[in-house]
Structure 1
Amino acid sequence: MKILLAPSERKTLGGNFPPISKNSFIFPEIYEKRKEAVKKYDEFLKTTDDIKNFGDDKTSVFERPVKKAVLRYSGVAFEHMKYEELDKSAQKWIDENVYIFSNLFGVISAGDLIPHYTLKQGSKPGFDIYSYYKEVFSPVLEKINESEPFIDLRAKFYEKIYKPKNAITFKFIKNGKVVSHFAKAYRGKLSAVISKHRPETIEDVLKIPFEDIKIIEIQKKKGVKEIVCEVF
């Protein structure tokens, strides 16, 4: 199974490895298309003064040091995943099976090597990067989704790039209300727990003893199972 996860706008600085190359990412067969989008972003940085959405670093993305994506992103979900506290087998599972929907690089694995960058959700670096990546990644992900279900823990926004047909999602309820912002924390916790159990089917996921989460209902919508959970 694969977990689909949104990126975070907050990121750590620095990097332990040389700049990006074809070997930095999953799906090497589409690297040139990924590279084309990053080049457009690179050129756009030279022309914009929009620091809020694109940052103030004008250096080429292709010259910046990189680190694992799961260590680069430092938002709420990644804080609560506590990747560095997991054992090596769980870390390896996350590296290979958590797909992050980067605003700049498209669909990457948690173990892919990426530089620090700024591209706020929904911002367009001179072109519609989300429509572009939808065309690039939808066929790749659909092929994978045919043989294995996805655990979709993303924000709805990233359905602009891809919406799976064979998946499960989670809705978190606390005190009778849907959890919104703090849902990111539960997504991170879920990812960590799932990495320890490494399920292969949706039925396997339902057997996992999630801490502080009680499954109260399962709803099916167009092939996607939504697991409604009470959180404590």
Structure 2
Amino acid sequence: MLVLLPPSETKASGGRGRPLDLTTLGHPELNPVRERLLSALTDLAGDVPASLEVLGLSERQKDEVARNAELRTAPTTPALRRYTGVLYEALDVPSFTRATMAKAARRLVVASALFGLVRATDSIPAYRLSGDTVLPGVGSLRTAWKPSLPDALAAVDDLVVDLRSGSYAALATVPGAVSVRVVTEVAPGKRVVVSHFNKAAKGRLAGALAATRREPATVDALAKTINAAGFTVDQAGPRMLEILTDHLGR
């Protein structure tokens, strides 16, 4: 089983790892695109006003541009400790046992605009790049990743649980993946997708799937695994599961 997570716009600062080395990251077939995007992003960082405009940042977020300028020299830290925000707070990596972290290293992968796919233990620097960004000299990230990312995902033999958000799911489809949406029941038989709590629920789900001793290989087995972890789950389609919550995310 492979659980495909969205990244977060916010990243933890610092780190104790050596500067970025693409040869240490998983999926080395993605390195040519990674190198191209790194160069484009660091070059863009040389023009702060242009960076703010392209990245959709405010004047108060100039520090994000400074991060991008130092991508090749900044310290790194494992991906699951680099990404922050609601989903990753709910994932609660600090609570992982050694055994859970070992399973997370095999099962959890982050869909990254800059790196394509990042394993849980891959050491990366802090950066700012969203999935819907159009980079000067590169164009849309969907176009940039098209030659290699879809093939990398299609080559995954395990059952893929796709928890990505829209702009990252648009970078490449995953044949046969199981999608998960978080819903609440507003009236008998009527469900709506939640907003804010969606991220928290998916973070808790990812943590549960990282820790489980089960190895689901089918949608039915996955649903049973999720139920066993304490969630209420229904199959809403051939490859779609719904997690039922009483939170509206407001």
The normalised TM-score by structure 1 is 0.89
CA distance in 2, matches of 1:204, 1:217: 11
**Counterpart for residue 47 of structure 2:** 47
Secondary structure of 2:135's counterpart equals coil
**Counterpart for residue 31 of structure 2:** 31
Amino acid paired to 2:152: V
- Whether the aligned pair in 1 keeps the contact of 2:141 and 2:171 (CA below 8 Å) is no
- Whether the aligned pair in 2 keeps the contact of 1:10 and 1:74 (CA below 8 Å) is yes
- Whether the aligned pair in 2 keeps the contact of 1:6 and 1:100 (CA below 8 Å) is yes
Which of 186, 195, 199 matches 2:201?
186
CA distance in 2, matches of 1:91, 1:111: 9
- Cα 1:106–1:30, aligned 2, differ >3 Å: closer, same or farther? closer
- Whether the aligned pair in 1 keeps the contact of 2:109 and 2:117 (CA below 8 Å) is yes
1:89 Cα shift?
Answer: 1.6
CA distance in 2, matches of 1:30, 1:152: 19
Is residue 161 of structure 2 the alignment partner of residue 143 of structure 1?
no
**Counterpart for residue 210 of structure 1:** 229
**Counterpart for residue 172 of structure 1:** 182
1:121 Cα shift?
Answer: 4.1
- Cα 1:217–1:129, aligned 2, differ >3 Å: closer, same or farther? closer
- Whether the aligned pair in 2 keeps the contact of 1:24 and 1:114 (CA below 8 Å) is no
Secondary structure of 1:228's counterpart equals strand
1:231 Cα shift?
Answer: 1.3
**Counterpart for residue 189 of structure 2:** none
Amino acid paired to 1:207: K
Secondary structure of 1:207's counterpart equals helix
Secondary structure of 2:210's counterpart equals helix
1:206 Cα shift?
Answer: 1.7
Which stretch shifts more, 72-81 or 121-130? 121-130
1:61-100 equivalences in 2 (<5 Å): 61-100=71-110
- Whether the aligned pair in 1 keeps the contact of 2:8 and 2:84 (CA below 8 Å) is yes
Is residue 133 of structure 2 the alignment partner of residue 123 of structure 1?
yes
- Cα 1:13–1:152, aligned 2, differ >3 Å: closer, same or farther? same
CA distance in 2, matches of 1:149, 1:42: 36
1:33 Cα shift?
Answer: 3.0
1:183 Cα shift?
Answer: 0.5
The 4+ residue runs of structure 1 with deviation greater than 6 A are none
1:228 Cα shift?
Answer: 1.8
- Whether the aligned pair in 2 keeps the contact of 1:19 and 1:65 (CA below 8 Å) is yes
**Counterpart for residue 231 of structure 1:** 245
CA distance in 1, matches of 2:97, 2:78: 16
CA distance in 2, matches of 1:43, 1:115: 16
Secondary structure of 1:182's counterpart equals helix
Secondary structure of 2:16's counterpart equals coil
- Whether the aligned pair in 2 keeps the contact of 1:96 and 1:111 (CA below 8 Å) is no
1:123 Cα shift?
Answer: 1.9
Is residue 202 of structure 2 the alignment partner of residue 201 of structure 1?
no
CA distance in 1, matches of 2:234, 2:145: 36
The number of residue pairs the alignment matches comes to: 225
Q: 1:110-163, CA deviations, whole angstroms, 9 ceiling, x for partnerless residues?
A: 21111011123422231222321132211121111xx32210011122222111
The alignment's C-alpha RMSD in Å is: 1.9
- Cα 1:178–1:97, aligned 2, differ >3 Å: closer, same or farther? same
